[in-house]
């Protein structure tokens, strides 16, 4: 079930949905389930809508969603900065909450996506399991591929998710065997997203 309201570490896997997911639950792909007016992030370099990666149900009794986006290169075009937390080529923010000021947003309800809807299946983390610490998961603490890279002041940001390119379903460009990390500022709903590669 993808509706955890606690922040206990959960390992995750992804299963393609038989039909679009329209509930405010954690998912990858498809289209965002907006809780307020749409705020679709635009690429700082091209001005075009970023691609929707997914949404994450944030902890707490109130329904809050974090929305994750990233610019994807078009054929014959290279966009730099998708790995940078403030590069304007990725976005993570919550509703209720606000986007960051280093990219623009548009009132677009539906836009480009990385792929079809995928359920996120959660498994409580087993510290005695000697499995891959870099695998995709929610909550807990990040396992850094290339060393700590907390955005800005580490005390401001709550770690939300890490996505391992080896098990995410869309082949997103996180570099060579990369791992992506998402963080949220609970006070503002602003987020940061970045990735590291091998």
Q: How many domains does the chain have?
A: 1
Which residue do the tokens 């009132």 mark? 107
The whole domain housing 171 covers 1-198
d(CA 63, CA 96): 9
pTM for the predicted model, two decimal places: 0.91
pLDDT at position 75, please? 58
pLDDT at position 91, please? 97
Residue 94 CB partners (closer than 8 Å, separation 6+): 58, 64, 65, 66, 67, 184, 189, 190, 191
Residue 191 CB partners (closer than 8 Å, separation 6+): 66, 68, 91, 92, 93, 94, 100, 160, 182, 183, 184, 185
What is the arithmetic mean of pLDDT over 149-167? 87
Rounded to the nearest integer, the mean pLDDT of the chain is: 89
pLDDT at position 130, please? 56
| Position 26 pLDDT exceeds 80 | yes
SS3 of residue 29 by DSSP: coil
In this predicted model, what pLDDT tens digit does every residue of 95-112 receive, in sequence order?
999 999 999 999 999 999
CB neighbourhood size of 153 (10 A): 8
d(CA 174, CA 61): 33
The enclosing domain of 34 has a CATH number of 2.30.320.10
């Amino acid at each position: 079930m993808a509706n955890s309201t606690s922040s206990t570490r959960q390992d995750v896997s992804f299963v393609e949905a038989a039909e679009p997911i329209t509930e405010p639950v954690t998912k990858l792909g498809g289209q965002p389930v907006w809780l307020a007016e749409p705020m679709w992030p635009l690429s700082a370099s091209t001005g075009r809508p970023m691609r929707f990666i997914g949404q994450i149900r944030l902890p707490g009794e109130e329904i809050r969603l974090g929305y994750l986006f990233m610019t994807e290169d078009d054929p014959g075009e290279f966009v730099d900065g998708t790995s940078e937390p403030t590069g304007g080529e990725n976005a993570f923010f919550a509703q209720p909450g606000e986007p960051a000021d280093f990219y623009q947003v548009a009132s677009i309800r539906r836009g480009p996506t990385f792929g079809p809807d995928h359920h996120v299946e959660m498994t409580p983390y087993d510290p005695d399991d000697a499995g891959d610490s870099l695998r995709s998961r929610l909550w807990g603490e990040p396992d850094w591929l290339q060393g700590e890279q907390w955005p800005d002041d580490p005390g401001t940001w709550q770690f939300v998710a890490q996505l391992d390119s080896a098990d995410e379903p869309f082949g997103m460009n996180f570099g060579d065997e990369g791992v992506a990390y998402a963080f949220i500022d609970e006070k503002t709903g602003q987020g940061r997203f970045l990735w590291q590669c091998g």
